[in-house]
Amino acid sequence: MIAGAAASKRSRQARADTVQPGSRSVPSVTPGARFRELLAGPPFIAADCYSGLTARIVQDVGFPAAYMGGHSTSMMHYAIPDYGVFTSTEMIEIAGRVAEAISIPLVVDADEAGESVASVHRAIRRYERAGLAGVHIEDEIDPKHSVWDGPLLPIPDLQARVETAVNARRSDDFVVIVRSNEFQVDNGGGTGSLDEMIRRAVAAAEAGADAFIPTFADEQQLAAIAAEVDLPLGGYQALISGLQFTLFTGWGVWVAAEAHRRVASHIFEHGDLPPDFGGDFDRRTLTDQTAYDDVIRRWAERTGRPTRPLPW
């Protein structure tokens, strides 16, 4: 029995020491720690994704981090507007699948992270357990971005949510970013006041935030905010002067929806694919197909089953 156990242990160790083709190494540091390293380095872009496959593409292109926005993910998976009806539970479930598919850190739009500070506490713990690098929490009040012309969350309530999120995380590596929509007047709760944006940035820092996103701030406004608060500043589009990072979002789902409509319309009208259809993508790389092929081939050979070459 002892000899058999020793042999089994050696066999398991040998398998553990063997790196299989297509396998991804287990990170030696947390996703949050890797994102914090990015925050401490040169300015960078975390690119838009809404699924495991699109996150793999972002990683394959070479971006150092990925970002899942609430509007993109809710539109792609549920075809609903970004009015706060997309729940934390739904985002956490999808984000966990996405984080599993990549090795670069993933940051997620947590919206308000729930209805109350109790909801924030539970949501942050679940986001962290799902393997994310961090989340951002915003100061909108649901139903946000809708026909209701509501205000932003009062600063004391915002600070309470941020403090709850910071205290809820199990590891200090997990990144809590605060987003303010003070400059989002047309379909947000803001008034456009730079002074109010600065007050919200200072309040976020006092509550323990790791970074701050003043949505739609220009270079001059970023400079004014940076003069009052010592936090990395982020945005959502181009990496302009004053930004340490941008969660470059919105384009992924638009590109996918437009391409799908174009091809679907052509098939509906002509009964076939358009002549300029590009065909298949590199599924072998983007789905780790080689690793699965190797597993199945070893099983077939070990058990005397036949194998065959694949056309892709």
Domain-located, residue 75:
yes
pTM (2 d.p.): 0.88
* Full strand arrangement of the beta sheet holding 106-109: 211-214, 175-180, 134-138, 106-109, 65-68, 44-48, 245-248, 234-235
Q: Which has more pLDDT, 20 or 230?
A: 230
φ, ψ of residue 151 to 5 degrees: the values are -85, 175
Domain-located, residue 142:
yes
Q: Which has more pLDDT, 156 or 16?
A: 156
CATH of the domain at 171: 3.20.20.60
* Count of structural domains, the chain: 1
Q: State the Cα–Cα distance between residues 75 and 122, nearest whole angstrom.
A: 24
Least confident of 38-52, 100-114, 257-271, 277-291: 277-291
* Mean pLDDT, the chain, integer: 90
Domain-located, residue 85:
yes
Residues carrying an active site annotation: 82
pLDDT in tens, 40-71: 999 999 999 999 999 999 999 999 999 999 99
Domain-located, residue 82:
yes
| Mean pLDDT value across residues 147-151 | 81
Indicate the pLDDT class of residue 73, thresholds 50, 70 and 90: very high
CB atoms within 10 A of CB 17: 7
Parent domain of 89: 31-257
Confidence (pLDDT) at 13: 39
Which residues on neighbouring strands pair with residue 177, listed in sequence order?
136, 211
